[in-house]
Amino acid sequence: IAAHEDYHAILEVSAVALDRARAIDTQLKAGKKLGRLAGIPYIAKDNFLTAHTHTTASSNILKPFKAPYQSTVIERLEAEGAIMVAKANLDAFAHGSSTENSDFGPTKNPADPTRVPGGSSGGSATAVALGLTCFALGTDTGGSIRQPAAFTGVVGLKPTYGLVSRYGVIAMGSSVDVIGPLANRVNDAALVLDVTSGKDIHDATTIERDPQAYAGGKPQTLKGKKIGLIKEYMGEGTEAAVKASVEDAAQRLAKAGAKVEEVSLPSVDLALACYYVLIPAELSSNLARHDGIRYGHSSKQAQSLAQTYLLSRDEGFGDEAKRRIMIGTYVLSSGYYDAYYKKAQKVRTLLIREFALAFKKYDFLLSPTAPTTAFKLGEKNQDPLSMYMSDVDTVAVNMVGAAGISIPAPVKGLPIGIQLIAPQHGDRALLGAAKALEELLA
Ligand code: GLN
C-alpha cells in the first residue's frame, strides 16, 4: 500500500490489521478451527462504518467522524477471519463515476495514471487492480461497483437488491443501494457473497440468501442458455472497441452453446433520466442528517442554531452533493412532485415490467458495462451531464433491483467490462454463468 500511494486509492490504513493477523497465526499454530477467510486481507470503501479507522465517505463533512459501531458486512467478514487492512477512496457520498468528486483528491487508474479509475468505488477497484488486496468492498447505487471494475479490469458484482445487509453503510439511494465485492476472479466475489449475504435483523430490506453456496462448484454449462444482447446499449455513444469486445463475448458464448440474440428494451433509454430524479430525491433526504450537531463537521463560525445547520452544511458538503441535494429537494417540492418524482416512479415501473418480460424469454442479458473506456482525469468533471452518461449501461439494473456483474474482456489496451445481468434472486445462476464466461474470455 505504501509503495502505491501515488494512485491515491487508500485513505487510511488500519492500525489493528497486523495484530489481527498475528492473532490468527496464533490460532493456526494452536490447531484451532479457523474461519473461511482466515487471514485474507481486504479493503473497504470508506462509506462502510468500521471500528478502528475513520469513516469519511470522502466528504469533508465527515472528516473527523469515527463510527460507534461496525457495518454488518464488516462484522460477518471479520467473524470468518478476514482482515480489513485499509479504507478506500470514493466520490464523496458515492456521488460520481470517476472518484474526482472525492473531497480528498482523485484516484488514478492503474492501467493509465492520467485516467480515472471510474467511480464511485474507484479506490476499491484500483486497490484490487494493483494487487493491494484480494478483494475490496464497494457499493452500487447506479453502477458504482461495475463501472470502476470495467475501467480497471477487475470483476465487480452487484447482487440482487436486499441480498446483502446495508446496516452501517452510509446510505445514498435507499431504494436501490447494494453492497458487493470487487475481486480478481468471479469465484472470489462469490465467496465474499457467501460470507456477507442473507437476512439481517438490523436491515428490514434484507432477503433470504440461496441455500446453496455461491462459490465453488463447476462453472455452469452455457449450453442451451438464452442470452439477450441489449440493443439499446450498443448504440450511439458506445465506443467501437467496447462494441467489438461485447460482440466478441457474444460469439464466444454462442460457440459454447448459448443462444445469443439481440433484444430491445425500449424504456432503458429513460433509465438515466429516471435515476437522476429519484436518486437525488432519496439522497437529499438521507443527507439531511448531517446537521453539524450530532457528528461530523460543525462550523466554528456559527452564532445560532440555524447558522450551525447552514454553515456546517455549506462548509462540509462539496459541489456535487450540493447539486444533488438541490435537485432532490426540487423534484420533491409540492409544485413539482407530480411532474418529476411521480413521473419518474412510473418510468421505474415501466422498466421493471420490461425487464420482467425480457427475463421470461432470456436467462441472462448481456451488454457493455460502460459505453467508453476510462476517460482522462479532468475530462468530464466540469460537465455533470457527460459524467452522468457514463452510467447509461448500469443504472437500469439498479432501478429494477436485478443482479449484475462486470467481467474484464481480453483486451490489450484500456480495460473493457462485459456486463451480464440476471433477474432478482438469480445471483447463483449469474455467478455460475459468469464463471463460465470468465473462462471463455481468458
Ligand atoms: N455514478 C452514479 C452516480 O453518480 C452511480 C453512483 C453509485 O452507484 N453510487 O450517481
Is 152 a residue whose pLDDT tops 80? yes
At residue 217, the pLDDT reads: 78
Q: Coil, strand or helix: which one is 50?
A: coil
Tell the burial category of 15 from Cβ atoms under 10 Å away from its Cβ (0-12, 13-18, 19+). exposed
Q: C-alpha grid cell for residue 385?
A: 451531464
Measured at the alpha carbon of residue 205, what is the angle toward residues 212 and 366, in degrees to the nearest 5? 60
Please give the distance, rounded to the nearest whole angstrom, from the Cα atom of residue 382 to the centre of ligand 1.
16
Is 54 a residue whose pLDDT tops 90? yes
List Cβ neighbours of 253 (8 Å cut-off, separation of 6 or more).
222, 227, 260, 366, 437, 440
At residue 127, the pLDDT reads: 98
CB 91 within 8 A of CB 133: no
Q: Which of 102, 120, 165, 245 is catalytic?
A: 120
CB 82 within 8 A of CB 376: no
Is 94 a residue whose pLDDT tops 80? yes
At residue 309, the pLDDT reads: 97
Instruction: Supply the residue whose CA is at minimum distance from atom 10 of ligand 1.
Output: 95
Measured at the alpha carbon of residue 76, what is the angle toward residues 288 and 208, in degrees to the nearest 5? 80
Is 318 a residue whose pLDDT tops 90? yes
158 labelled catalytic: no
- What is the strand order of the sheet 83-88 is part of? 10-13, 83-88, 41-45, 135-140, 178-183, 155-158, 403-408, 417-422, 364-368, 226-230, 259-263
Please give the distance, rounded to the nearest whole angstrom, from the Cα atom of residue 95 to the centre of ligand 1.
5
Is 179 a residue whose pLDDT tops 90? yes
At residue 218, the pLDDT reads: 75
Within 53-115, strands assigned E span 83-88
**Which ligand 1 atom is the nearest neighbour of the CA of 145?**
8
Is 166 a residue whose pLDDT tops 80? yes
58 labelled catalytic: no
Unique residue bearing C-alpha cell 445547520: 309
Task: Tell me the pTM.
Answer: 0.98
At residue 220, the pLDDT reads: 80
For the ranges 21-30, 56-65, 218-227, 401-410, which has the lowest average pLDDT? 218-227
Question: Is the pLDDT higher at 236 or at 419?
Answer: 419
Mean pLDDT of 203-217: 94
Mean pLDDT of 156-182: 98
Residues within a 6 A CB radius of ligand 1: 94-97, 120, 139-144, 172, 391
pLDDT grade for 81, boundaries at 50, 70 and 90: very high
Mean pLDDT of 384-411: 96
Q: C-alpha grid cell for residue 312?
A: 456546517
45 labelled catalytic: yes
pLDDT grade for 422, boundaries at 50, 70 and 90: very high
Q: Residue 186, CB half-sphere, CA atoms under 13 Å: how many?
A: 30
